Structure 1
Amino acid sequence: MAFRGWLVFGLGLALPLATQGCDDGAYDGGGSSGGSGGSGGSVPITGAGVGQACSGATPCRPGLACTNGVCELGHSTPEGQNCVIGGECQDGLTCLLGKCAKAGTGQTGDSCTSDADCISGHRCVLAGFSTQCAPEGTGDVGADCQVAGDCYSGLTCTLGKCGQPLPGAPTFGLPTWQGVSCEGATAGTVRAYFEVPGANPKGQEGDFFRLPFPNDVRIKGGTLDLTGFPTPGAELLGFDPVKLYVDALDQGEGAWGTNPTMVFRFSGEIDFDTFTKTSGGIYPIQWVDITPGTPEYGSSAGLFFQYDPNKSNYVCPNSISMRRPTGYPMTPGHQYAVFLTTAGKSKSGAAIERSEHLAAVLADAAPSDAALAAAHAAFAPLRAYLKDKLIGTELVLNAAVITAGKVRDPMQKLASVVDALPAPTAKSWVKCGGGAKSPCPQAEGERACGDGSAADFDEYHALVSLPVFQKGTPPYTESGGDVRLDQPERSEDVCLALTLPKGTMPPSGWPLAVYAHGTGGSFRSHARAEIAGALAKAATPGGTVGFAVLGIDQVQHGPRRGASTASPNDLFFNFKNPAAARGNPLQGAVDQVALARLAAALDVDAATSGGAAFKADPAAIVFYGHSQGSTEGSLALPYSDGYKAAVLSGNGASLIHALLAKKQPVNIAGALPFVIADLDPSTGKLRSGDLHPVLSLLQIWIDPADPLNFGRVIGKAPETGKLPKHVFQTYGTGDNYSPGKTMAAFALASGLELATHDSSATSTEPIGEPPLPEKTLPLAGNVSVSGTPTTLVVRQYGPPTGKDGHFVALDVAAATADIARFLGMAAQGAVPQVGQ
């Protein structure tokens, strides 16, 4: 049993809570602990298998056919009868739980929770950090395999051989890694581990977390040193997913992220309650900013923590893990101390032993040993803080110093380079309709020119030349994809669609909304009634505003995938390649910065456009992003004053919470406990949930591209020299693409206030702890930023029956109207309102 507690905003609300695991990361596998259990080993295997010789005397296994003396897939076993592999079953069936059953409808690349979701001949496999339908392999029982996908459906890969899965086990396999080796609990005195690797005198070294983690002691030569961090191996995926990120962080990161999980270890059991009660006016667990000369010095956002007396596959028994509240990242570039006080006791009530290494790094004099001297130098800010606050070093039971990386610097540098380049230009304009052909590659089907029948707008296509900062060759599946910060790698002609309201253009030009689509969309996703149509006649208290709407193919869509035809779901969320996983959203953000400059200078004559002459009003440019497009906009908006206001639809933040709960467009939540190889079989969840150290590691890597770190500087506290932007976040309840915790994280990090929910939301989801109160409508100028009334609002809507909450901006009329009103008022130069 794990025990959790909270210190809310440093106000001392400590609430011990015993839980059977955590509240996150459940696998929704159709009633099993992760997918179809296949035959579960219950079907006897009699007869020759696929590819084996057969004859009247040596028949094939039931369901196979003997053709020219060799067994082949027979597709003959009817529904409800025994099977070993899917190819034994009749067409349209698959092998589930040892019986032929109706196959699902999932095609290659579609999200799945079990083989039952996929069409006949396909199976549910692990693909990076998600589960997806894929064509089945060709390995029969006993065949060599590396991963389960090498085998026929109904089988799994265990110890390098295809075979029937264990009862109740998923057919994509179970990891056999047993985790780190741990010593037994010590008898008698319990020790708080602080053991510096390689120090002399040698500490009680052992597992990785015997030095509190993360910790500036592990920064060596200006880069992180994660030597010894546990990894599960390549068994399930054919590559080690954790080692990928350990190596990536080792190779160049010089500081930690802004949203880490802190882990402390003990040699024996502790009394959890003693760590939740004030002693001498000091809480026994502290997470404070120790950056001198800053307004935040000595402050704490609070924290939540968990004590686990049990072993996971990564952390040995008796650990305390903690995080700052969701939506309250550390300030980039600041230093923080996380420490425990001696008020915490062992389970027997006795004092807990302090490490000799900790005493050495807290002492005034530097140790003579090089490893301890380096740790001593890293702890200088903590020693100064303790002295300033009159806290004796003898009261510190264990501690870590963490330098939060300057995670916004890469995006800021990229935007500066873009601003120094000539403004992008568009070419090859075509007015759609009347059979006109788009100049864009792959312009078939939904990507083709519209037929010109839209009632409220005309559609134009063009190609815009944009700077590309990602290294390598798209789609960066295995390598490449990181961004260079000093100059573009190349330029790229990107498909563009522009809609113009029918009617007369204002003398100053059309107000213009840059629309960034979600994963799976295209450059013309906005050419629909709910976006371009609604914005062509945006109703505001000051009258109707007609917007031009401009969109492009976002990163990893259409021709921007290179020669690949793989799903953008796999390519954009490419956790198999850390460089691309971080580089993709950064490049997408660069695109939005460049498009603001294109929009400001847009002025096209009739001869060039093939239709009407048009220009944009540079004083009335706004941003509207959905999902992936919102992520990119969140990173771009702080550094682009061309945008006056922004709507962010389906916008999540905090990778940790996305990994734990995201089920669409790919099922990351379901695969995660298996990929990381730390499934709690008693709960079907990832051990430790949002406090898992691997999730912390992934968050550290992605922090430079996580909206969590950018929301505050969009509107509430702009970067020096930048203007605040009005922000309206639409929040759909029941969102499986951007789960509620991720949208809440962005709202909290951005300092948004919660407007009264729309009537479509028959139930609401809490934002924050304690939850944000709802504010009366209409809500406008609700935050003063350096004396400027700024609208910073989130509002909840409920999806229609059968629809996902991710799409309320399109599916709920009130949300569509709120968006049009908000952007329209911003374009008019008014303080925009949400609701009416």
Structure 2
Amino acid sequence: MLGPRWTLLVLVSLTAGCSDGEEVEKSGESIFVAPASLDELAEETFFDHPWPSDLRKESDGTVRFTGYPNPRKKPILKGYIESMKGVLTGFSPAAPGFLRFTTPLAPSSLPTPRASLGDDAVVQLIDVDPDSPERGARQRVASFFRAEEGAYWQPNTLAFMPALGFPLRPGTRYALVVTERVRAADGGRIEPSPDLRAVLGHDDASGPAALAKSALSGALSELEQAGVAKSSIVHLAVFTTDDPVAETAKIRDFVVASYPEPKILDGTLKKAEEAGFYDTYEGRYGPTPNFQQGKIPYAKYGDGGALAFDAAGEPAVQDDFDLRFALTVPKAAACPMPASGYPIVLYAHGTGGNYRSFIGPKDEGTALAKRCIATMGIDQIFHGDRPGASAGTPELLFFNVENPVAARANGPQSAIDVVQQARLFTKSKITIPASISGGSEIRFDPDKVAFMGHSQGGLNGPLFLAVDDQTRGGMLSGSGSMISIALLEKTKPVDVAGLVKTVFLGLLGDETDELNLFHPAMSLAQSIVDPTDPIHYVPMLVRRPRAGFLPKPMMMTEGVNADGSGDSYSPPHGIEVQAVALGLPPQTPVIHEIAELAWADLEPVTIPPQGLSGNLAGGAASGVLAQWTADDASDGHFVIYDIPAAMNQAAGFLENLMADRKGLVPAP
């Protein structure tokens, strides 16, 4: 079985195939059909034209998913495909793509992700966008070839995807080329198909091929400038990426510019309890905007759930609600309030938690109060007494496999919740009156706000942190990226991996062996979930922040064993890929070797006794991925709660972030 930890690691050699000038007999051709109508591309013929491709767009400019393979006629897949009609104007920056051939290829001629950066690579993914800051640059690309026909695979399919940890830039045009150096399994050469020969200008072009030639001429010119001659191309896919972050960012900007500042509701604030290191206050605040249209909680396909925009393309608030909160404040005797107020961490709980999940002797509220930091928690989407929360199970509503429309928007809506929550401190500048505290008025420093999220909260956190600048940085626990990894490896709280094989795809017996990260169904799933997948947001935290934003110091934790097992809720592989995309090196000791480091230009770092500072963003930020042995925890997902040293390091990171925007990672 070609396991999800990757066939591409087996495809380790890049070979020229033959010496210069050597005559090699033809073995086969690429399959590149320039269709007269997109209706010609459906089911078993769907990949006879490359996917993705800018030639696969409807007259309104949106990507056509109609005809995407559903060989078992599964109703749930039918709904997924239908849900994407008219949704995307570009293709996923992270999902696999597919090219077909008439004969098997030699896997040994395919490059590793690092080797794919070379101008002599057999498979190259090149930025061909004249307006891109990376114009002409080769991107890391992973390749996988399957010769056999499968339930969802057509024979002789070359699958490719941006190397894990390196999603493509949004709204950018790329070209995937297979060059003449590729070899068939029998050692023979591969030639372009008749339609592709016409597109490349080798033969006269007419009809659909002429239209394709015109549409792709600009990309071919860019390829020539990048050193790829048309005479060297045997297969080609030209496509423009979608921008999965755009809607979330637009709504965030609308909220901070136009939506009312939140206030604590009159008569709701109270001191709930006193503990050894902190006092706990509870209350409600509002308004909080809901941008998801339809019938809350959007449980089923047809209930809506998409983010709403008006006819002019501006965000459209659907309704407003208020949220309950808990707020822990350090004891004044041990932590006198600074002149500017207490630093504050916004905490986002995991699935099944609530607004008080951070309160307890082993939890975040205690660890941060010991460091003179206040902490605030709210109910996450579909939890507690939020609208629609009583209508279903939180994990099934948030990770909504029944309604792909809502699944795309639940994460962005959750991020907007945190944007409004942060405004309590940065704009409204709430206080706890002396009449409530029983002492002096309690204030909070609007310049010292940070984020901490666990599990579901750790998935929403990167979305918030990427599009908003109210916090200095953050810490993520049990937070991973790439929905395809979760679909293949997640087993708790629901055995998602098992359900995907049987219920969703209808694979039987040995057919399950065909499922891997490059599978056509994984490409569809990734395309659907992109707007809520952290993989597209984490590069914006350090490597390419929004205009005017500072890079954010970040820390991640992972519960893992040497064999890569450990976290049943957020697969370690997804956590590691997210760290690579964010640019976080693993701290030593490294418990599990991260495969993606082979092409990531990241090396493990040893944190000195005085801590590690300025290792990111050219010295402007700090951060690491901290691995902890999962066997020492109830499940690797909960290492920060089960291993005191893990919680201490995470809390220490946040303490140092409050003291210095650049951050400092304490020694473990």
Offset of 1:285 from its aligned partner? 1.4
Matches within 5 A, 1:397-476: 397-420=234-257, 421-427=259-265, 428-433=267-272, 452=273, 454-465=275-286, 466-476=288-298
Offset of 1:468 from its aligned partner? 1.0
Comparing 419-428 with 604-613, greater Cα deviation is found at 604-613
Comparing 271-280 with 735-744, greater Cα deviation is found at 271-280
Matches within 5 A, 1:568-717: 568-600=394-426, 601-606=428-433, 609=436, 611=438, 613-677=441-505, 679=507, 681-682=509-510, 685-717=512-544
Partner of 2:356: 524
2:381 paired residue among 551, 555, 567: 555
Specify whether residues 204 and 781 from structure 1 end up closer, same or farther in structure 2 by C-alpha distance, changes over 3 A only: closer
Comparing 766-775 with 506-515, greater Cα deviation is found at 766-775
Matched, 1:256 2:91: yes
**Which amino acid in the other structure matches residue 482 of structure 2?**
S
**Which amino acid in the other structure matches residue 212 of structure 2?**
A
CA distance in 1, matches of 2:209, 2:502: 38
Q: Secondary structure at the match of 2:486?
A: helix
CA distance in 1, matches of 2:632, 2:404: 38
Residues 618-672 of structure 1 show CA distances to partners (whole Å, capped at 9, x for unaligned) of 1111111111111111011123222012011111011111111111121111111
**Which amino acid in the other structure matches residue 367 of structure 2?**
A
Residues 780-806 of structure 1 show CA distances to partners (whole Å, capped at 9, x for unaligned) of 333353x65211221111245461111
Partner of 1:304: 142
Matched, 1:750 2:582: yes
CA distance in 2, matches of 1:256, 1:564: 36
CA distance in 1, matches of 2:478, 2:180: 45
Offset of 1:549 from its aligned partner? 0.8
Partner of 2:122: 284
Matches within 5 A, 1:735-814: 735-757=567-589, 763-766=591-594, 768-770=596-598, 772-778=602-608, 779-783=611-615, 785=617, 789-799=620-630, 801=632, 803-814=634-645
Taking only aligned residues, the RMSD between alpha carbons, in angstroms, comes to 3.0
Offset of 1:208 from its aligned partner? 1.1
CA distance in 2, matches of 1:804, 1:765: 19
Matched, 1:484 2:308: yes
Matches within 5 A, 1:93-492: 190-198=28-36, 207-221=45-59, 222-232=61-71, 240-275=75-110, 282-363=120-201, 367-369=205-207, 371-420=208-257, 421-427=259-265, 428-433=267-272, 452=273, 454-465=275-286, 466-478=288-300, 479-485=303-309, 486-492=315-321
Offset of 1:303 from its aligned partner? 2.3
Query: Is this contact kept in 2: 1:241–1:675, CA < 8 A?
Result: no
Offset of 1:823 from its aligned partner? 1.0
Matched, 1:498 2:498: no
Query: Is this contact kept in 1: 2:13–2:110, CA < 8 A?
Result: no
Partner of 2:369: 536
Query: Is this contact kept in 1: 2:614–2:620, CA < 8 A?
Result: yes
Offset of 1:532 from its aligned partner? 0.7
Matches within 5 A, 1:64-83: none
Partner of 2:23: none
CA distance in 1, matches of 2:633, 2:442: 41
Number of residue pairs matched? 625
Query: Is this contact kept in 2: 1:214–1:260, CA < 8 A?
Result: no
**Which amino acid in the other structure matches residue 106 of structure 2?**
D
Residues 791-829 of structure 1 show CA distances to partners (whole Å, capped at 9, x for unaligned) of 122111124546111111211111111122111122123
**Which amino acid in the other structure matches residue 400 of structure 1?**
A
Residues 193-214 of structure 1 show CA distances to partners (whole Å, capped at 9, x for unaligned) of 10122269x9999621111211
Specify whether residues 579 and 263 from structure 1 end up closer, same or farther in structure 2 by C-alpha distance, changes over 3 A only: same
Structure with the higher helix share, 1 or 2: 2
Query: Is this contact kept in 2: 1:5–1:15, CA < 8 A?
Result: no
**Which amino acid in the other structure matches residue 527 of structure 1?**
I
Q: Secondary structure at the match of 1:217?
A: coil
Partner of 1:508: 340
Q: Secondary structure at the match of 1:790?
A: coil
Q: Secondary structure at the match of 2:356?
A: coil
Specify whether residues 422 and 814 from structure 1 end up closer, same or farther in structure 2 by C-alpha distance, changes over 3 A only: same
Q: Secondary structure at the match of 1:564?
A: helix
Partner of 1:91: none
CA distance in 1, matches of 2:307, 2:255: 13
Query: Is this contact kept in 1: 2:104–2:147, CA < 8 A?
Result: yes
Unaligned runs of 5+ in 2: 16-25, 310-314, 561-565
CA distance in 1, matches of 2:379, 2:661: 31
Specify whether residues 343 and 204 from structure 1 end up closer, same or farther in structure 2 by C-alpha distance, changes over 3 A only: farther
Query: Is this contact kept in 2: 1:625–1:647, CA < 8 A?
Result: yes
Query: Is this contact kept in 2: 1:191–1:354, CA < 8 A?
Result: yes
CA distance in 1, matches of 2:175, 2:535: 21
Unaligned runs of 5+ in 1: 17-187, 434-451, 539-545
CA distance in 1, matches of 2:48, 2:477: 43
Offset of 1:389 from its aligned partner? 3.6
TM-score (norm 2): 0.87
Query: Is this contact kept in 2: 1:639–1:722, CA < 8 A?
Result: no
Offset of 1:713 from its aligned partner? 1.0
Residues 480-532 of structure 1 show CA distances to partners (whole Å, capped at 9, x for unaligned) of 21112413211111111111112243322111110011111101111122211
Query: Is this contact kept in 1: 2:42–2:66, CA < 8 A?
Result: no
Q: Secondary structure at the match of 2:28?
A: coil
Query: Is this contact kept in 2: 1:429–1:460, CA < 8 A?
Result: no
CA distance in 2, matches of 1:2, 1:663: 19
Comparing 312-321 with 499-508, greater Cα deviation is found at 499-508
CA distance in 1, matches of 2:652, 2:338: 18
CA distance in 2, matches of 1:282, 1:401: 19
CA distance in 2, matches of 1:528, 1:281: 56
Query: Is this contact kept in 1: 2:43–2:68, CA < 8 A?
Result: no
Q: Secondary structure at the match of 1:359?
A: helix
Q: Secondary structure at the match of 1:774?
A: coil
Residues 430-468 of structure 1 show CA distances to partners (whole Å, capped at 9, x for unaligned) of 4344xxxxxxxxxxxxxxxxxx25221111111121111
Offset of 1:602 from its aligned partner? 3.1
Offset of 1:748 from its aligned partner? 0.6
CA distance in 2, matches of 1:304, 1:5: 10
Offset of 1:362 from its aligned partner? 2.4
CA distance in 1, matches of 2:356, 2:595: 33
Identity %: 32
Query: Is this contact kept in 1: 2:431–2:444, CA < 8 A?
Result: no
Offset of 1:365 from its aligned partner? 10
1:832 paired residue among 657, 663, 668: 663
**Which amino acid in the other structure matches residue 498 of structure 1?**
L
**Which amino acid in the other structure matches residue 648 of structure 1?**
L
Specify whether residues 591 and 281 from structure 1 end up closer, same or farther in structure 2 by C-alpha distance, changes over 3 A only: closer
CA distance in 2, matches of 1:293, 1:424: 40
TM-score (norm 1): 0.70
Comparing 322-331 with 296-305, greater Cα deviation is found at 296-305
Larger radius of gyration: 1
Offset of 1:304 from its aligned partner? 2.3
